Structure 1
Amino acid sequence: MNFDVLLSHYRAKACVVSVEFFPDGTYGNIRVVAGNKAHCDDMAALNHPFEPGCPYEACFPKNPNFEDHCFRCIRDGKPLHAYVDLYMMGLWLNMFLMPLDSDQENIGYCIYCYDVAPKADSSAMADLSADTAADVLKACIKLRGSQNIRQAFQEVIEDIGAICGSDHCCVLLTDDEKHECTTFAEFLREGSCLYPMSRYIQGFYEIAQTWPDTLAGSTCIIIKDEHDMEKLQEQNPIWKASLEQAGVKTVVLYPLRHGGELLGYMWALNFNVENVLKIKETLELTTFFLASEISNYLLLDKLKILSTIDTLTSVRNRNEMNNRVDRIVAGNEPVPQGVLFADLNGLKRVNDEQGHAAGDMMLRAAASILQSVFHDGEVYRAGGDEFMILVNEISEDDVQDRVARVHFLSGKTENVRFSIGVCYGKKNIRKAMRLADERMYAFKNGYYEAHPELKYR
């Protein structure tokens, strides 16, 4: 067959790929044996002049998923299409593979037609089989139509487990600042020999850290047989050993990326390898939407934290304090047994004499003491140097013991000193707050009577 004549009819970038077949059903060398003008021009623009018969990695990034697609296209004699995020290059790849006849027993051929773009094309993403499109649409509806995103993700991951015919599916988030992983959603098939992620989560971040190198720019990792496991042993022996120990035979793993940020991973373990192409097509697009929803969830969670936490001291802020009091007044929450106000003595003096950076350090130290002593309560920064503490269930003696503990710990610091007022057992939150505030100021007046030199400093 004259490949050059065949390719001359293609206006888009196209080439002919050959795959070497072995008797055991595996493949060997994959080469680009011919290319049309658009392909050759593309290679020249990348300073890689095309040479017919070269190993495919001389033209394209080495990728086991690309190799598997070429192998399956030729072996099964069926055209394949994939739309892939080349995140390492900031590009999207739209690729088509079409099998060709071959007059050689151990060499097969296919046409590889491709195009790249810097942005995702919604029409290309929607070019799916009816079954796959229905599965992806179902997932999107659940994610967008639910008020409880965690519950929606749980339902979606269970659906993905059924689609993949897998023993275990999981969405795992990674936190590079804390060096830890958390399970966001998980499905474990009843009767499976596998265990939930809670068994492995401690220290699992070290294993997850090895995945980017194993992916090496690929959109996913697919391990479908012993041959793939042998390759994994060469690439990532640490992960391979953990899979073997857990009883995992097959894996499909996708990174969850959004806006250039790696959020975590989704995988299916011991999946139905007969449907590997449908699984890949489904997960390729589903993970795109999952990552977007997770990113939104994490952003809203972060904004919620920022709206409720005092950024300087990391205790709850005045806005959250007012919301809590409003809920108590409305009868939606019980009145805490212990209500305390704590004022930091001498902050103005420290700000004036040592600067506001020293004053900020003093406030952080004060908040740390209050949080450590009232670990089972809620500490709010009510104002500049004033804190409110609410404790739901506590005895009056315990409240007094903890106030003494606060004074003891603050006495160990250079300049943290508190005036504290306590109200215990009142049924009216507003009245309890007023009494605690009055008692705090009475304590403060006594403090300045004992230390008159500090009164105006």
Structure 2
Amino acid sequence: MAKITYESMKLVANTASIPCTVISVEKKPDGSCGEVRFFAINDIFKKSYYDMFAQNENGDIPPYDDFEKSIEGELYTSHLPKEPNFEDECFKAAWNKEYINTYVDTTKMYGFWTQNILLPIVGESDDPNIAYCQFLYTLNKEMDSGKYAAVPPDIASFVIKACLELRNEKDFKSSLSVVTKDIRKYTNATTAAVITIDQDLKKYKMLSGDATGDATNPEKAFATISYDIVASWSSLLKETNSIIIKNENDMDEMEKKNPAWVATLHQYKVTSVCLVPFIHQQEIIGYLFITNFDTKNVIRVKETIELVSFFLSSEIANHLFLQRLEYLSNVDMLTGVYNRNCMNVNVDELALKLEFEPRPFSVAFCDLNGLKTINDNGGHDKGDRLLVNAAEVLKEVFKDDKIYRAGGDEFTIISFSSEDEFKEKIKLLREKASDPEWLHFAIGYYHDASNGNLRLAMRYADEQMYIDKDKFYKQYPNKRR
């Protein structure tokens, strides 16, 4: 068996026509990965590494001629952040003699797509605890679809199947649920979830989730996790394209960086995690989150979910865009309740349904008393604040009902609560909106027990509202419009 020396490895590195380094990988007594060092590099690696990563914390760049000395023999973490996924791949290549080829989106970190190639090196080492592998990489500003030819057939087949499912004729959420379940099964995980995040509104939402066995229902689990924890993931992903926790050591390292998140993982008995961001226009719009996956196939799992997440990103971005368009066309921007256009469409649809399948329902018209006086005396800004305040009260009282801003100061509620429950809501609304100097509603409502005539019910409620409004202005004539 050939002897591994610095000179021979330098020769191996220099035979490559792309950036290449021979890496030494230590095996600890317990069989885990120890120190990972750059052993010998070629000139192309030196130039590429110098251009991309050489700047230290002080902003100084060492002279190029001396830069090789600051790389060879040093831990890879001397200039780069510690990356457990990279260490695991190096260990498998050096010690298990596996050939590894991955192609991933690292544009958020480096501005490039990266193809990483790890090749095992066979030879006799001076240290029986050290083995070697060859690391080569290519960088592309744009995705090179041809690089996917190197993806193993089972991964390629799975990714294609997921893409076809997302592009079928079913609604997006149904298709996404199928893909999420397939991801969980493929990775042999206990749970999988697709999450979107809105950094402006400081909210996140689970679009789909799937669990097996005794695993915690993803929807219930995420309902107990704060936005701050989900938001903290972005800082962890500044220097890596995915987070993979495969054992206790990784979990301990993550606990040092993000103890609050790890506390929730312990709470739900999570021992391994895959977290991949969905990136659109250089911004994180969501995550693919997998727990308790098959850690024996961590490289295959990592490559699969990163590829799937790349295609999911565009589909989810499109879904969020369409949701935003629907929101803008149906929601009143000032108050946050449904607008007149949405009310007209919903009333047409509901009136037809009730005509054929009557069921009890209630309608209420709520018109603000004295808004014109407030606009005249305090300006329209103050009037707008009153409208916002009024909408907040309505949303608080009619939590599970449809609320529309039917006109300037008029709101409409359609409810399928029981008659007694709806009357209690009206009573509560009168208590909360009874200040003649600020928030005071004229209220008219009607309960239809069996007829199913929505438009007639709305007319009766409207008539009652005007009767109530006349009472207010008789009591407070100075506020009459």
Which TM-score band (shorter chain)?
Answer: 0.7 to 0.9
Alpha-carbon RMSD across the aligned residues, in angstroms, is: 3.2
Alpha-carbon distance change, 348 to 127 in structure 1, aligned in 2, over 3 angstroms: farther
Describe the SS at the equivalent of 2:156. helix
Matched residue, 1:39: 45
Describe the SS at the equivalent of 2:441. strand
Matched residue, 1:328: 350
Asked if 1 retains the 8 angstrom alpha-carbon contact of 2:445 and 2:460, the reply is: yes
- Written as runs of structure 1 = structure 2, the 5 A alignment for 1:7-406 is 7-45=13-51, 46=54, 47=61, 49-51=67-69, 52-58=72-78, 60-86=80-106, 87-104=108-125, 105-125=128-148, 127-174=150-197, 182-190=205-213, 192=214, 194-197=215-218, 200-205=221-226, 207-208=229-230, 211-212=233-234, 217-232=239-254, 234-236=256-258, 239-240=261-262, 242-244=264-266, 246-331=268-353, 334=358, 337-395=361-419, 403=426, 405-406=428-429
Q: TM-score, normalised by structure 2?
A: 0.82
Shift of 1:76: 2.4
Shift of 1:137: 0.9
Amino acid at match of 2:314: S
Deviations 1:61-91 (A, max 9, x none): 4322112111111122232111233323443
Matched residue, 2:3: none
Counterpart CA distance in 2 for 1:311 and 1:267 is 33
Counterpart CA distance in 2 for 1:400 and 1:452 is 28
Shift of 1:53: 2.1
Counterpart CA distance in 1 for 2:264 and 2:399 is 38
Counterpart CA distance in 2 for 1:267 and 1:317 is 36
Matched residue, 2:459: 434
Task: Specify every segment of 5 or more residues in structure 2 that has no aligned partner in the other structure, as ranges.
Answer: 1-6, 55-60
Counterpart CA distance in 1 for 2:207 and 2:120 is 41
Task: Specify every segment of 5 or more residues in structure 1 that has no aligned partner in the other structure, as ranges.
Answer: none
Correspondent of 1:3 among 6, 9, 22: 9
Shift of 1:136: 0.8
Shift of 1:358: 0.6
Shift of 1:120: 3.1
Question: 92-101 vs 403-412, which deviates more?
Answer: 403-412
Identity %: 35
Describe the SS at the equivalent of 2:167. helix
Shift of 1:217: 2.0
Alpha-carbon distance change, 253 to 34 in structure 1, aligned in 2, over 3 angstroms: same
Amino acid at match of 1:184: L
Shift of 1:410: 2.6
Alpha-carbon distance change, 63 to 407 in structure 1, aligned in 2, over 3 angstroms: closer
Counterpart CA distance in 2 for 1:405 and 1:229 is 50
Counterpart CA distance in 2 for 1:229 and 1:450 is 68
Counterpart CA distance in 2 for 1:306 and 1:212 is 28
Matched residue, 1:414: 437
Asked if 2 retains the 8 angstrom alpha-carbon contact of 1:125 and 1:285, the reply is: no
Counterpart CA distance in 2 for 1:297 and 1:13 is 39
Question: 269-278 vs 335-344, which deviates more?
Answer: 335-344
Amino acid at match of 1:2: S
Number of residue pairs the alignment of both structures matches: 453
Shift of 1:355: 0.8
Counterpart CA distance in 1 for 2:445 and 2:251 is 65
